[in-house]
């Protein structure tokens, strides 16, 4: 499937090589794009996934004091209003 995709992306490559009749070098030639494509694909995956973890952790740690101060009175009222579960 990948081979088909790659050759369809580069229409000039296959016919040119077929004309010259270098069948063995043709095999080598399309391995380079596959290698590059797989490295790019792998590189893409890592760069997308890497930031996700740290951001989530930072959000949990970064509950700031000013937010807690803002909510304190409201939370106190909530506890009084729901005395059966506090």
Partner 1 sequence: MNSNSPLSRFALGLAAASLALGGLASAAYAQRDPAYEQARSSGRVGEKMDGYLGIVGAATPELQRLVNDINIKRRAVYAEKAQAANATLEEYALTAGCVAIARTSPGEKYQAPDGSWQTRTSAPPLRDSRCPA
Residues within the interface to partner 1 (CB under 8 A): 60, 63-65, 67-72, 74-76, 78-86
C-alpha closest to that of 13 among 1, 27, 2:
27
Please report how close the Cβ of residue 66 comes to partner 1 at its closest, in angstroms: 9
Please report how close the Cβ of residue 45 comes to partner 1 at its closest, in angstroms: 29
Structure-token match 């596959």, residue found? 34
Three-state secondary-structure class, residue 20: helix
Contact 86, 79 (CB under 8 A): yes
Please report how close the Cβ of residue 77 comes to partner 1 at its closest, in angstroms: 9
Using the minimum distance from each CB to partner 1, give the nearer residue, 50 or 56. 56
């Amino acid at each position: 499937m990948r081979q088909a995709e790659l050759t369809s992306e580069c229409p000039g490559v296959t016919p040119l090589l077929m004309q010259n009749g270098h069948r063995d070098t043709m095999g080598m030639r399309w391995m380079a794009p596959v290698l590059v494509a797989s490295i790019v694909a792998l590189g893409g995956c890592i760069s997308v996934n890497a930031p996700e973890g740290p951001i989530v952790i930072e959000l949990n740690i970064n509950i700031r004091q000013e937010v807690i101060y803002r909510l304190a009175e409201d939370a106190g009222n909530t506890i009084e209003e729901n005395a059966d579960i506090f």
